[in-house]
Amino acid sequence: MAADDLKQFIIINLDKDPYGVEIKYIESIIVMQSITRIPKAQSYFKGVINLRGDVVPVMSLRKRIGLDEVEDTPTSRIIILKPDNQGAPVGIIVDEVREVISLENSQIEKIVYDEKADKANYCNGIGKYENELISILNIPSIIGQEK
Amino acid sequence: MDVSQYLEIFIEETKEHLQSLNEHLLILEKEPDNENTINEIFRAAHSLKGMAGTMGFKRMQRLTHDMENVFSEIRTGKMKVSSELVDVLFRGLDALEAYLANILENAEEGSEDNEDIITDLNNILNAGLGIAAEPKGENATSTTSNSTSSAGGEKYKFKNIKIEDHEKKAILKASEMGLNVVGLTIYIHEYCVLKGARAFMVNRTLEEHGEIIKLDPPAQDLEDEKYDYDYSAFVITKETPETLAKLAMSVSEVKEVVADYVSLTEAEKTTLNETIKAQSIAKVEANKGTDGTSLKAGKAPAPKAASKPVVNRSVRVDIDKLDVLMNLVSELIIAKNGLVSISSTSDIVLDSAFHEQIEYLERITTNLHESVMKTRMVPIESVVNRFPRMIRDLSKKLNKDMELFMTGEDTELDRTVIDEIGDPLMHLLRNAADHGLESNEEREKLGKNPVGSIFLDAYQDGNNVVIEVRDDGSGIDVNKIRNKAIGKGAITEEQAESMSDKDIIDLLFQPSFSTSDQVTDVSGRGVGLDVVKTKIESLGGEIETKTKLGEGTNFIIRLPLTLAIIQALMVIIGKEKYALPLGSIQTVENIKCTEIKKIQGREVINLRGSVVPIIRLDKILDCEEKEEEPEELLVAIVKKGERLAGMVVDELIGQQEIVIKSIGKYIKCHKSISGATILGNGEVALILDVNTLV
């Protein structure tokens, strides 16, 4: 891999901690909407929303990665993700969307977690950006494709 | 010539022709003298040959050519239809289908010559003609005699013409009905240029006054001018020979017409009557294709009566394009629902003209939706028309006599359903043929008609299409299944005790459960009924079984008419909106809490004499607990097959047309939620498939 291999990430905040979502997975970012609850769904799925005429399931990222749930705030957003070209979209709720950054491959440290560790399920690298360490989210695993 | 651009049309049309050949051959086997059928077959085979030739599929052309030869001989009556002949012809059709499959795959017909079929065809052809030639010689001497034969002389050529058996029957029939049978010989002027056209005109005149049962030479030859200056005709008519002769003379360029009555000798009459009797007694043997005409033949055989099927004016449209159209209509309906909900909000003041326009829009969108749905509707015929052939093959393979009766082939279903329903139906039919029907001997012992019957009935029932696959076989032996299930360890004996017959029958739909003691080629590998059930449920349908030991089994399949847009009853449960498909709701009742009784821990109500279990939807859907129980409950009564159940809802909103949307594969949800829909105000409401709860 060439050193100048750049990848763009959107930085989001969860509990004040920064997380990165690679931009290729992101279809759009929308403000909070009314969510229709789905009975007996996985607990981290909040329900479904109407996204321009399509019904899209939405999950709470906090709950998905084992954080406590909080009330929605005015900064809360839903990021619509598309895991691949054919896949149906899924929304994740985040506390805040901060900015878009570019990271070189060299700035990302691949991490290998213990298989059993919770984090292994949703994080696949740490990005070093300015003075921060950003957890890069493993999107396919979060939305439940790789399992 | 580059013909690749026609390939698609060729494939489509070939499919149609092959299907038509299949169907008509089956008819022909049963009614060997049905002339319309023979003509239809001949036409299909002929077009097929021409098309294959044009497209450069030489092998296909050759095979069809040889088949056409046989059909041609049958048509002219020189050959008789026999079971063996039909077998070979069916093999020929299979071979043609194989060619077509090859063409579909790689635009080439493949290298299979199917020499054996061609040889068999030709053997039959030669043999058939050889046999047919002999009686001709005999008959020449015993030609139909005539009451006034002495008056004949050379001019009355028709008196020397051999009359075939089926024609004799027609004559007999006519004389029984008090009609005259008149023979004519028509002489046309030697200077006539268009002999064919003249003959045609004469025949047309004759047909106005009766029915031509025989022409010599045959009509085709007459039209092609393959005759000298005279020909003969036999007509069943009310008129006298003199009038007919006069009428025929009125056509210009006709030189002379001689006519006289034709009748059968007493001896011929008796032999004929005997054969007719013998045939009606031995009906079973009729399909072996003896020389017999069924009694029907009397009314048919006008040589030029080939009726052309009414051609539908149609355009072939890619199903994807229709899907796009369908989606757009769905969006339009959502937008319309949005407008309706705005217009009904009270804080916006709108004049009545606006409401009128909204109603107008509503009407148009509903009509538009219906029309688009209709373009996707296909008669079920396109699936079931291959079944008669399949049953015939099965009948031979299993060595059981059986017959398939189909009704409602014109019932229409959504294209997507049609594509999927074929295999499950085939499974059920094979099951009926193999497991359902007993062997002939067994049936006879039981005092049943030795020929087993399988019925396939399709009809529309409200918003559903029902397809029943029925047989009059042995029925399902519930105890046998019970023991088998226990033997397999699928259920324990205690479980078996408490299971109802219905529960036991449901076991049949479990994966890998076959009751047939021996696995046959046809069915019994235990991959049948569960696949059928899964498939039908994936189409939003359901399957029910009714059986009576010794009398037969009935599988009832219910399918939704449409897949994309349905009428729904919008309700509120807890604080959430849900859509219940209107098709499954019978009534909505107000029930007082005091009327709810408990039987074995389940809540039931007595609804007009029947005990109906109550299902608390709010509990199933984990809705918020209500603070206090209301005194009256709103209960939607749902019917699934024969069973009723009451669904408790909190409030009714009304009836609405909703567009079904999938909620995606990532989210797991309760089995009762079949999808979601978007309401007028943009909210998402879930669709409850109440059938899964009954």
B82 and B36 within one domain: yes
Residues of B in Cβ contact (< 8 Å) with A55: 661-664, 675-678, 684
Residues 6+ apart with CB under 8 A from B570: B577, B578, B579, B580, B652, B653, B654, B655, B656, B679, B685
According to the model, what pLDDT value does residue A4 have? 57
Does position A103 have pLDDT exceeding 50, yes or no?
yes
B70-94 pLDDT, tens digit each: 887 877 777 777 777 888 888 888 8
CB contact (8 A) between residue B666 and residue A88: yes
According to the model, what pLDDT value does residue A1 have? 44
Task: Check residues B501 and B612 and name the one with the higher pLDDT.
Answer: B612
Can you give B344-374 as a three-state secondary structure string? Answer: HCCCCCCCHHHHHHHHHHHHHHHHHHHHHHH
Which are the catalytic amino acids of B? 46, 68, 431
According to the model, what pLDDT value does residue B135 have? 40
B363 and B387 within one domain: no
For residues B304-321, average pLDDT:
62
Does position B132 have pLDDT exceeding 50, yes or no?
no
For residues A36-45, average pLDDT:
85
Whole-number average pLDDT of chain B:
76
Does position A45 have pLDDT exceeding 50, yes or no?
yes
Domain count, chain B: 5
Whole-number average pLDDT of chain A:
81
pLDDT band at B280 (very low <50, low <70, confident <90, very high): low
Contacts 24+ apart (CB under 8 A), B198-203: B198/B251, B198/B253, B198/B254, B199/B223, B199/B227, B199/B231, B201/B251, B202/B233, B202/B248, B202/B251, B202/B254, B203/B233, B203/B304
According to the model, what pLDDT value does residue A3 have? 46
For residues B503-507, average pLDDT:
78
Q: Is the separation of the CB atoms in B168 and B272 below 8 Å? A: yes
B358-368 pLDDT, tens digit each: 888 888 988 88
Residue B144 domain-assigned (yes or no): no
B450-462 pLDDT, tens digit each: 888 899 999 887 6
B581-631 pLDDT, tens digit each: 887 888 898 888 888 888 888 888 888 888 888 888 888 888 777 777 777
B281 has a chain A CB within 8 A of its CB = no
pLDDT band at A146 (very low <50, low <70, confident <90, very high): very low
B174 and B196 within one domain: yes
- Closest alpha carbon within chain B to A47: B667
B124 and B86 within one domain: yes
CB contact (8 A) between residue B684 and residue A48: yes
Does position B409 have pLDDT exceeding 80, yes or no?
yes
Residues of B in Cβ contact (< 8 Å) with A41: 667-669
Among B560, B577, B604, identify where a domain stops: B560
Does position B636 have pLDDT exceeding 50, yes or no?
yes
Tally A–B CB contacts below 8 A.
70
Q: Find the CATH number of the domain harbouring B577.
A: 2.40.50.180
Q: Indicate the range of B34-38, B50-54, B149-153 predicted with least confidence.
A: B149-153
DSSP state of A4: T
pLDDT band at B640 (very low <50, low <70, confident <90, very high): confident
Task: Kindly state the percentage of chain B with pLDDT values over 70.
Answer: 83
For chain B, the 3-state helix, strand and coil shares in percent, each to the nearest 5, are 50, 20, 30
Residues of B in Cβ contact (< 8 Å) with A39: 620-623, 669-670, 673, 686
CB contact (8 A) between residue B663 and residue A39: no
pLDDT band at B274 (very low <50, low <70, confident <90, very high): low
| H/E segment holding residue B590 | strand B585-592
According to the model, what pLDDT value does residue B299 have? 41
Does position B392 have pLDDT exceeding 50, yes or no?
yes
Residues of A in Cβ contact (< 8 Å) with B675: 55
- Say what the pTM is: 0.49
For residues B257-266, average pLDDT:
75
Which strands, in side-by-side order, build the sheet including B464-471?
B402-407, B452-461, B464-471, B552-560, B542-548
Does position B279 have pLDDT exceeding 80, yes or no?
no
Q: Indicate the range of A68-72, B99-103, B197-201 predicted with least confidence.
A: B197-201
According to the model, what pLDDT value does residue B519 have? 44
For residues B361 and B363, give the distance between their C-alpha atoms in angstroms, rounded to a whole number: 5
B291 and B333 within one domain: no
B647-665 pLDDT, tens digit each: 888 888 888 878 787 777 7
B505 and B397 within one domain: yes
A57 has a chain B CB within 8 A of its CB = yes
Domain count, chain A: 1
B542 is in which domain, residue-wise?
381-560
For residues B330 and B627, give the distance between their C-alpha atoms in angstroms, rounded to a whole number: 39
According to the model, what pLDDT value does residue B332 have? 86
Residues of A in Cβ contact (< 8 Å) with B663: 38, 48, 55, 57
B668 has a chain A CB within 8 A of its CB = yes
Query: What is B312-351 written as a DSSP string?
Result: PP-----HHHHHHHHHHHHHHHHHHHHHHHHHH-TTS---
Identity of residue B473: G
* The Cα angle at residue B12 between residues B8 and B15, in degrees rounded to 5: 140
For residues B600 and B504, give the distance between their C-alpha atoms in angstroms, rounded to a whole number: 21
Q: Which of A31, A38, A43 to mutate to test the interface with B (most CBs of B within 10 A)?
A: A38
According to the model, what pLDDT value does residue B275 have? 62
Residue A79 domain-assigned (yes or no): yes
According to the model, what pLDDT value does residue B59 have? 82
A140 has a chain B CB within 8 A of its CB = no
Q: Which of A36, A45, A90 is closest, CB to CB, to B685? A: A36
Among B534, B560, B586, identify where a domain stops: B560
Residues of B in Cβ contact (< 8 Å) with A47: 684
For residues B224-234, average pLDDT:
77
Residue B316 domain-assigned (yes or no): no
Contacts 24+ apart (CB under 8 A), B338-341: B338/B680, B338/B681, B338/B682, B339/B680, B340/B680, B341/B679, B341/B680, B341/B681
B526 and B387 within one domain: yes
Q: Indicate the range of A21-30, A104-113, B339-348, B635-644 predicted with least confidence.
A: B339-348
> Chain B closest CA to A68's CA: distance in Å?
21
Residue A114 domain-assigned (yes or no): yes
A88 is in which domain, residue-wise?
7-142
According to the model, what pLDDT value does residue B272 have? 66
B536 and B390 within one domain: yes
CB contact (8 A) between residue B576 and residue A37: yes
Q: Which of A40, A56, A88 is closest, CB to CB, to B670? A: A40
According to the model, what pLDDT value does residue B142 have? 39
Does position B687 have pLDDT exceeding 70, yes or no?
yes
For residues B312-339, average pLDDT:
79
Task: Kindly state the percentage of chain A with pLDDT values over 90.
Answer: 7
Query: How does B92-120 read in b/e, with b if 16+ C-beta sit within 10 Å?
Result: bbbbbeebbebbeeeeebeeeebeebbeb
Residue A35 domain-assigned (yes or no): yes
Q: Indicate the range of B332-346, B547-561, B629-643 predicted with least confidence.
A: B332-346
Q: How many CB atoms lie within 10 A of CB B439?
A: 14
Q: Indicate the range of A43-52, B215-224, B232-241, B399-408 predicted with least confidence.
A: B215-224
B521 and B601 within one domain: no
Residue B308 domain-assigned (yes or no): no
According to the model, what pLDDT value does residue B306 have? 42
Among B139, B165, B187, identify where a domain stops: B139
For residues B600 and B602, give the distance between their C-alpha atoms in angstroms, rounded to a whole number: 5
Q: Find the CATH number of the domain harbouring B47.
A: 1.20.120.160
Residues of A in Cβ contact (< 8 Å) with B677: 55
Task: Check residues B408 and B35 and name the one with the higher pLDDT.
Answer: B408
Q: Which of B328, B617, B669 to mutate to test the interface with A (most CBs of A within 10 A)?
A: B669
Q: Is the separation of the CB atoms in B254 and B187 below 8 Å? A: yes
Does position B8 have pLDDT exceeding 80, yes or no?
no
DSSP H helical ranges for B546-620: 617-620
According to the model, what pLDDT value does residue B418 have? 83
Does position A32 have pLDDT exceeding 80, yes or no?
yes
According to the model, what pLDDT value does residue A78 have? 92
B158 and B255 within one domain: yes
CB contact (8 A) between residue A41 and residue B669: yes
Q: Indicate the range of A65-79, B14-28, B126-140, B343-357 predicted with least confidence.
A: B126-140
Question: Between β-strands A90-94 and A54-60, what pairing exists: parallel, antiparallel or unpaired?
Answer: parallel
Question: Between β-strands A26-31 and A45-51, what pairing exists: parallel, antiparallel or unpaired?
Answer: unpaired
pLDDT band at B308 (very low <50, low <70, confident <90, very high): very low
CB contact (8 A) between residue A36 and residue B622: no
DSSP H helical ranges for B377-492: 381-384, 387-398, 415-431, 440-445, 478-488
B169 and B85 within one domain: no
For residues B284 and B299, give the distance between their C-alpha atoms in angstroms, rounded to a whole number: 23
CB contact (8 A) between residue B684 and residue A50: yes
Q: Indicate the range of A10-19, B151-160, B505-514, B577-586 predicted with least confidence.
A: B151-160
- Closest alpha carbon within chain B to A37: B576
Task: Kindly state the percentage of chain B with pLDDT values over 90.
Answer: 1
Please state, in angstroms and as integers, the Cα–Cα distance from residue B17 to each residue in B75, B118, B285, B306, B674, following that order. 18, 20, 29, 17, 41
Residue B262 domain-assigned (yes or no): yes
For residues B178 and B181, give the distance between their C-alpha atoms in angstroms, rounded to a whole number: 10
B393 and B409 within one domain: yes
Q: Please give the biggest Cα pair distance in chain A.
A: 48
According to the model, what pLDDT value does residue B288 have? 43
B644 has a chain A CB within 8 A of its CB = no
pLDDT band at B154 (very low <50, low <70, confident <90, very high): low
According to the model, what pLDDT value does residue A79 have? 92
Q: Which of B576, B623, B682 is closest, CB to CB, to A50? A: B682
Q: Find the CATH number of the domain harbouring A83.
A: 2.40.50.180
A68-98 pLDDT, tens digit each: 878 888 888 999 988 776 677 899 999 889 8
For residues A41-57, average pLDDT:
85
